[in-house]
Amino acid sequence: MTIPSTVIEVEATPGGDPVLAESLESRPAAGRKLLHGFLTDVPAMLSLGYIVLILLMAIFAPLIVLVSGWGPYEFDQTAIDPNMGAIPLGPFGGISAEHWFGVEPGSGRDIFARIAYGARVSMTVALSATFLTTILGVVFGLLAGYFGGWIDTAISRVMEFLMAFPALIFMIAILSALPSDNRIVLLVVVISLFGWPYLARIVRSQTLSLKEREFVESARASGASGAHIVFREILPNLTSTIVVMATLAVPGYIGTEAGLSFLGVGVVPPTPSWGQMIAAAAPWYAVDPMYFLIPGMFLFLLVLSFTTLGDRIRALIGSSEVRA
């Protein structure tokens, strides 16, 4: 049973949605080949390395800060020059053995510590939002695709409605209207609310084609329940799609969180976030470029790594299916 493979394309296929096809018999062999291909792929490995580094930095931020010596909320008045408009002392934004990435102009807070704590916000928001959108997208996509009828109509209408929304402006509006008690949870909820239809749409269309296949029909003929068919027969065939979509969703959410924080409606000070740091650095760009370059670089590399990783996984799955 060999089925022609297709590319899992996110938005690039207006009109015709992709159909997932996978050879079921050669699953273990294909899996090994996939893993080997993945481990020998240089861009994928570099990206994964950077992501792991940032994850470790986020998890162990309190410990790392103990080693580096300065916490994210401590002001170091000795590192800035009060006579020069409080710009950092020393070259490159005050980079020294004392302050590894220099200090913030004006306040003298340690940039390294704020980067480490900012990684926590980025990762928490992006990974939680990805988790939530994946669950919502898979559940609603499966429901709409498998059951069809009025369930499909209702879910599809809601998805169209959410996708017609000017999401960024609306997120800004909601976040500015809501009280600012727990911004991180709020960010995750708002991002997920507008994020899930993009995954659900693809899960739905693949479910539509999968449910017509022989193995689903034979399961149904042998008396399997609807839940069994959905979770045991259809869902496993969607795994690679879901993995790719989820990986490619993460950079979008990292960017959204940073952008919202940059605009001042995301994470509120004093909690550090990369986007917020860049916003704070903007007025200083001419006198202290390191202040925006450091968080900008971390943010850029993280988004780039997740995008590259998602791209490589997609390419590898695509090519292994062709060969299988």
Partner 1 sequence: MIRFLGSRVLGMLVVLFLVTLFTYVIFFVLSPDPAVQICGKNCTPERIEQIRANLGLDLPFWQQFWEYISGLFTGREYVVAGAVVTCPAPCLGYSFQTGQLVSEMIVQRLPISATIAIGAAILWLIGGLIGGVLSAVHEGRFTDKFFAGLTLGAMSIPNYVLALVLQFVLVVALGWLPFPQAVPFAEDPGQWFLNFLMPWIVLAVGYAAVYTRLTRANVIETLQENFVRTANAKGLSSSLVWRRHALRPALTPIVTIFGMDIAGLLGGAVITETVFGLNGVGKLTADSISSNDQPVIMAVTLLSAFFVIVGNLVVDLLYTAIDPRVRTAARA
Residue 16, CA atoms < 13 Å, CB-side half-sphere: 6
Selected binder of partner 1 within 303, 316, 317, 324 (CB under 8 A): 303
Question: 70 or 198, CB closer to partner 1?
Answer: 198
CB 143 within 8 A of CB 155: yes
Q: Least distance (Å) from partner 1 to the CB of residue 303?
A: 4
- Separation of alpha carbons 155 and 200, rounded Å: 9
Please, which of residues 248-287 interact with partner 1 by CB under 8 A?
A: 251, 255, 258-259, 262-265, 275, 278-279, 281-282, 285-286
Question: 70 or 262, CB closer to partner 1?
Answer: 262
170 binds partner 1 (CB under 8 A): yes
CB 191 within 8 A of CB 130: no
Selected binder of partner 1 within 60, 131, 161, 231 (CB under 8 A): 161
| Residue pointed to by tokens 């979509």 | 245
Q: Which of 179, 34, 180, 58 is nearest to 127 (CA)?
A: 58
81 binds partner 1 (CB under 8 A): no
| Residue pointed to by tokens 């850029």 | 300
- x-marked contacts with partner 1 along 222-241 as a string, rule CB under 8 A: --------------------
Q: Least distance (Å) from partner 1 to the CB of residue 311?
A: 7
Q: Which of 29, 20, 91 is nearest to 239 (CA)?
A: 20
Selected binder of partner 1 within 35, 56, 178, 185 (CB under 8 A): 178
- Separation of alpha carbons 94 and 130, rounded Å: 37
30 binds partner 1 (CB under 8 A): no
Q: Least distance (Å) from partner 1 to the CB of residue 208?
A: 19
Q: Least distance (Å) from partner 1 to the CB of residue 73?
A: 24
299 binds partner 1 (CB under 8 A): yes
Q: Which of 98, 78, 100, 80 is nearest to 89 (CA)?
A: 80
Question: 25 or 160, CB closer to partner 1?
Answer: 160
Residue 324, CA atoms < 13 Å, CB-side half-sphere: 25
Q: Least distance (Å) from partner 1 to the CB of residue 118?
A: 14
Q: Least distance (Å) from partner 1 to the CB of residue 50?
A: 12
- Separation of alpha carbons 141 and 25, rounded Å: 26
Question: Per DSSP, which regions of the chain are E strands?
Answer: 80-81, 87-88
Q: Is 307 left (phi over 0), alpha (psi -120 to 50) or beta?
A: alpha
- Separation of alpha carbons 228 and 187, rounded Å: 35
166 binds partner 1 (CB under 8 A): yes
Q: Least distance (Å) from partner 1 to the CB of residue 35?
A: 23
Which residues in this chain contact partner 1 in the complex, by CB under 8 A? Answer: 9, 12, 14-15, 160-161, 164-166, 168-170, 172-174, 176-179, 251, 255, 258-259, 262-265, 275, 278-279, 281-282, 285-286, 289, 292-293, 296, 299-300, 303-304, 307-308, 311
